[in-house]
Structure 1
Amino acid sequence: MSTLPSNVQSATQPPTITSIEDVQGRADSRRIPINKVGIKEVYHPVRVKDRSRGEQHTVASFNMYVALPHHFKGTHMSRFVEILHGNEREISVESFREILIEMTRRLDAQSGHIEMEFPYFVMKKAPVSGVESLMNYKASLIGEFHGGEPELWLKVVVAVTSLCPCSKGISDYGAHNQRSHITIKARIDGHMWLEELIDIAEQEASCEVYGILKRPDEKFVTERAYDNPKFVEDIVRDVAVRMNDEARVLAYVVEAENFESIHNHSAYALIEHNKTAEPVQGD
């Protein structure tokens, strides 16, 4: 019987596991910590709670980072993907929180950060005809873990119509309007529907936008915007008022960007506020 040379591995024999140096675990002498290190744009199926239908299934892009102390050379990149794929096939809001905690602890980090961005769909009815169409929104769950406690942020980007008050005020007829994006990012305490943030953005714009409009609907939205002109400054302030009145919102960032129809630039405004840092009454 012939035998294989000692340096040739049999096709049926599993490879021998040998000890391999952990290069990332080497010490680093530069003494410079890294705020975020990890992976970006990993796609994974997710389940998201839906106010009207219970839940919807979509696909999210994940960014996953941890803080790296100054004495470590690198982090273990493969562990991020292992953590993501080691959970249920479709990640939910509930498991998102646990993944954030697991990632931070498994990588021996003081803080962790996960962004889960996904398309979110809402069925909308046209304002006059009632014809239904799906509207898509860019939504995100953002998790921060530091000091032993997870923080959860919701974020939505909502397309709306804005009409210029100045144009209306100086024109004998007509006024320029444009499609705009309102972005709301809110740190929440308790449950909040994504649709609640979407509703606030659409209600504080000059008018909503829709997937399908019939002629009576088009007349309605045109006149609605004309009767409700707003600068970007008006939009962010009006949304901020709503955020201030919402007890479940602990902090927020509100942005408005108008993709101007008569300029080759956008108009932009931002308000950022941490309600937990407000002084106590009487102090």
Structure 2
Amino acid sequence: MEDVQSTPAEVPMDIDRVGVKNLRLPLVVRDKAKGRQHTVAEVDLGADLPAAFKGTHMSRLVEALGAWKETLDYKSLKSLLVDVRSRLAAQRAYVIFRFPYFMEKNAPSTRSPGLMSYACRLTGEIGGDTERPSFLLEVDVPVMTVCPCSLAICEQAAHSQRAIVRIACRFEGFVWLEDLVEIAEGAASAPVYSLLKREDEKAVTEQAFANPAFVEDVVRGAARSLESHPGIRWFRVEVNSQESIHDHDAYASIEKVVRP
């Protein structure tokens, strides 16, 4: 049968990325407490395409992912990228995994257990001038903040709200998602929980009001902890506060190269 994809392109222009998006598959990730965790991922997969070719072979991308049944780590992700690049005879290959990561979290007073879900993304790329793949790990962590200004000027109350701390990092070796969650929560007024009894609500509220924080405070606190993490080479931390008394969000961001 005719291989239409390999015929000359009408517009001879290189394509940086072409592939498939939103493939779903079971995924095994490393869990700090239990060793492994089973979750479900949405996956984008692709490669570059030279100007000489009309199209890429999309089915080969699906085949590569179907043949890949491993725990998500450096070695396995590199093998997937190398396989994609080889199947498509490409110079570069990339993959993005988006998945929920679950952590059991005990309420602060009653110790009642509940599951928290954190939205995670892992991006991997290989090609160019090096055979060494590059990875970008991201996690969104919901937290609670209490406004220091409101607390200072009001006699009986202060406004509080949920904020999202988004951490993105490049690293050497391995970085636990649990460590990034801990960094985000430690910079906020208080963590949030999936299950709270009355005693727990009291404890969380008192903790938050004892630690008021602007988005500027949260982003600086998280950045300081990321800067001192031994495995992180580069990070970007963003805090988006879903303001409870304003018709807008408050936002702050820091990006830094820790070690080249």
Give the TM-score band, short-chain normalised.
over 0.9
The one of 239, 251, 256 equivalent to 1:256 is 239
The one of 104, 113, 122 equivalent to 1:123 is 104
Q: How many residues align?
A: 257
* Cα shift at 1:79: 0.9
Corresponding position of 1:177: 160
* Cα shift at 1:219: 1.0
In 2, the alpha carbon distance for the partners of 1:218 and 1:166 equals 23
The one of 86, 94, 98 equivalent to 1:105 is 86
TM-score, scaled to structure 2: 0.93
Call closer, same or farther: CA 1:51–1:164 in 2, change over 3 Å: same
Q: Which amino acid aligns with 1:183?
A: R
* Cα shift at 1:29: 5.2
Q: Is the CA contact 2:30–2:71 (under 8 Å) kept in the aligned structure 1?
A: no
Query: Which ranges of 4 or more aligned residues in structure 1 deviate by more than 6 Å?
Result: none
Call closer, same or farther: CA 1:70–1:233 in 2, change over 3 Å: farther
Which has the larger strand fraction? Answer: 2
Greater shift after overlay, 118-127 or 94-103? 94-103
Cα distance per residue 1:174-205 (max 9 Å; x no partner): 11111111111111111221111111111111
The one of 59, 78, 82 equivalent to 2:40 is 59
In 2, the alpha carbon distance for the partners of 1:194 and 1:185 equals 11
Q: Secondary structure at the match of 2:168?
A: strand
Cα distance per residue 1:225-254 (max 9 Å; x no partner): 111111222211211111111121111121
In 1, the alpha carbon distance for the partners of 2:97 and 2:61 equals 14
The one of 72, 78, 102 equivalent to 1:92 is 72
Structure 1 residue 140 and structure 2 residue 121: aligned?
A: yes
Cα distance per residue 1:31-90 (max 9 Å; x no partner): 4322221111100111111111111111111011212222322211111100000122x5
Structure 1 residue 38 and structure 2 residue 19: aligned?
A: yes
CA RMSD of aligned residues (A): 1.6
Matches within 5 A, 1:58-77: 58-77=39-58
Call closer, same or farther: CA 1:212–1:25 in 2, change over 3 Å: same
Q: Which amino acid aligns with 1:223?
A: E
In 1, the alpha carbon distance for the partners of 2:91 and 2:146 equals 47
The one of 178, 182, 188 equivalent to 1:195 is 178
TM-score, scaled to structure 1: 0.86
The one of 8, 19, 30 equivalent to 1:49 is 30
Q: Which amino acid aligns with 1:191?
A: F
Q: Is the CA contact 2:142–2:162 (under 8 Å) kept in the aligned structure 1?
A: yes
Structure 1 residue 237 and structure 2 residue 220: aligned?
A: yes
Q: Is the CA contact 1:186–1:249 (under 8 Å) kept in the aligned structure 2?
A: yes
Q: Is the CA contact 1:144–1:152 (under 8 Å) kept in the aligned structure 2?
A: yes
Corresponding position of 2:208: 225
Call closer, same or farther: CA 1:180–1:64 in 2, change over 3 Å: same
Q: Is the CA contact 1:32–1:70 (under 8 Å) kept in the aligned structure 2?
A: yes
* Cα shift at 1:91: 4.7
Q: Is the CA contact 2:18–2:47 (under 8 Å) kept in the aligned structure 1?
A: yes
In 2, the alpha carbon distance for the partners of 1:72 and 1:229 equals 58
Q: Which of structures 1 and 2 has the bigger CA Rg?
A: 1
Q: Which amino acid aligns with 1:108?
A: A
> Between the two proteins, what is the percent identity of the paired residues?
42
In 1, the alpha carbon distance for the partners of 2:152 and 2:7 equals 67
In 2, the alpha carbon distance for the partners of 1:261 and 1:221 equals 18
In 2, the alpha carbon distance for the partners of 1:170 and 1:110 equals 60
